[in-house]
């Protein structure tokens, strides 16, 4: 089982975890609400997990330009 992290705003791959004995508490997923979990975490038919996060570039862009929050996708 692999866990893949991608930026929710630009789609860039942030990293992959390939540990087989990792649980949701170690990932911090237990702190998410049900709505946040549905929005941020998806599971593939192969058992892999995709987690939407935010990259440093998008975070910086959003901090400088809060109006960008209305956009679904950022290009930088």
Q: pLDDT per residue over 11-32, tens digit each? A: 999 999 887 677 778 888 889 9
Closest CA to 8 of 34, 68, 20: 68
Question: CB of 67 within 8 A of CB of 76?
Answer: no
d(CA 47, CA 56): 28
pTM of the model: 0.78
The per-residue pLDDT of the chain, averaged, comes to 86
3-state DSSP of 6-74: EECCCCCEEEEECCCCCCHHHHCHHHCCHHHHHHHEEECCCCCEEEEECCHHHHHHHHHCHHHHHCCCC
Domain boundaries, the chain: 3-70
């Amino acid at each position: 089982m692999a866990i893949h992290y991608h930026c929710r705003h630009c789609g860039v791959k942030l990293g992959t975890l390939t540990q087989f004995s990792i649980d949701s508490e170690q990932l911090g997923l237990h702190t998410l609400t049900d709505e946040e979990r549905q929005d941020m975490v998806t599971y593939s038919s192969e058992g892999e997990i995709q987690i939407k996060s935010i990259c440093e570039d998008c975070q910086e862009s959003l901090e400088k330009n809060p109006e960008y929050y209305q956009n679904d996708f950022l290009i930088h």
